[in-house]
Amino acid sequence: MSEITLVVPMTHMKDVSPGRAVPARASLGLAAVALFAAAANLRPAIAAVSPLVDRIREDLHMSATEVSLLTTIPTLAMGVCAPLGAYAGRRYGLHRGVLLGLAVIAVATAARVFGGSTWSQLSSAAIVGAGIAVAQTLLPAVVKTRFAARAGLVTGIYTAGLGLGGAVAAGASAPLADLVESWPGALASWAVLAVAGLALWSAAKGSLNLDDVTGPAGPATRGLPWRSGVAWQITGLSAVNSALYYCELAWVAPLLHDDAGRSTATAGIMLTVLISVQVIAMLAVPALLGENRDKRVGLALTMALTAAGFLGLAYAPDTTAWLWIAALGVGHGGLFTLVLTLPVVVSRDPAEAGRISAMAFFVGYACAALAPLLVGVLRDGQGDFQLAFGLLGGIGLLTLLPIARLRTTGNSPA
pLDDT at 24: 61
At residue 221, the pLDDT reads 52
Burial (0-12, 13-18, 19+ Cβ within 10 Å), 24 = exposed
52 DSSP 8-state letter? G
Is 354 within 8 Å of 137 (Cβ atoms)?
yes
The pLDDT value given to residue 4: 29
Confirm whether 319 is domain-assigned: yes
CATH number at 251 reads 1.20.1250.20
Asked, for residue 247, whether it belongs to a domain, the answer is: yes
4 burial (CB, 10 Å; 0-12 / 13-18 / 19+) is exposed
Q: How confident is the model at residue 413, as a pLDDT?
A: 46
Buried b (16+ CB within 10 A) or exposed e, 363-389: bbbbbbbbbbbbbbbbbeeeeebbebb
**pLDDT beneath 70, residues of the chain:** 1-26, 152, 211-223, 291-293, 408-414
Q: How confident is the model at residue 316, as a pLDDT?
A: 94
**CA atoms lying within 13 Å on the CB side of residue 66:** 13
338 closest CA partner among 283, 396, 273: 283
End-to-end C-alpha distance for the chain, whole angstroms: 17
Instruction: Give the amino acid at 295.
Output: K
Q: What is the dihedral of CA 292, 209, 214, 345, to 10 degrees?
A: 10
Overall domain count for the chain: 1
Does residue 2 belong to any structural domain of this protein? no
CA angle 25, 28, 33 (to 5 degrees): 125
- The answer to whether residue 14 sits within a structural domain is no
CA–CA distance, 259 with 282 (Å, rounded to integer): 29
Q: How many angstroms separate the CA atoms of 276 and 160, rounded?
A: 9
Beta-carbon contacts of residue 126 (< 8 Å; ≥ 6 apart): 73, 74, 76, 77
Q: Look at residue 6 and tell me if it is in a domain.
A: no
Range of the domain at 388: 24-405
Q: Is residue 7 part of a domain?
A: no
357 lies in some domain = yes
> Which amino acid type is present at position 74?
P
SS3 17: strand
Angle formed at CA 89 by CA 153 and CA 193, multiple of 5 degrees: 60
Q: Can you tell me the distance from the alpha carbon of 343 to that of 180, in angstroms, rounded to the nearest whole number?
A: 42
Per-residue pLDDT, 128: 95
Contact 389, 256 (CB under 8 A): no
CA 384 to chain centre: 27
Cβ-based neighbours of 361, under 8 Å, separated by 6 or more: 78, 79, 82, 85, 133, 136, 137, 238
Is residue 263 situated within a structural domain? yes
The whole-number pLDDT of residue 205 equals: 86
pTM: 0.75
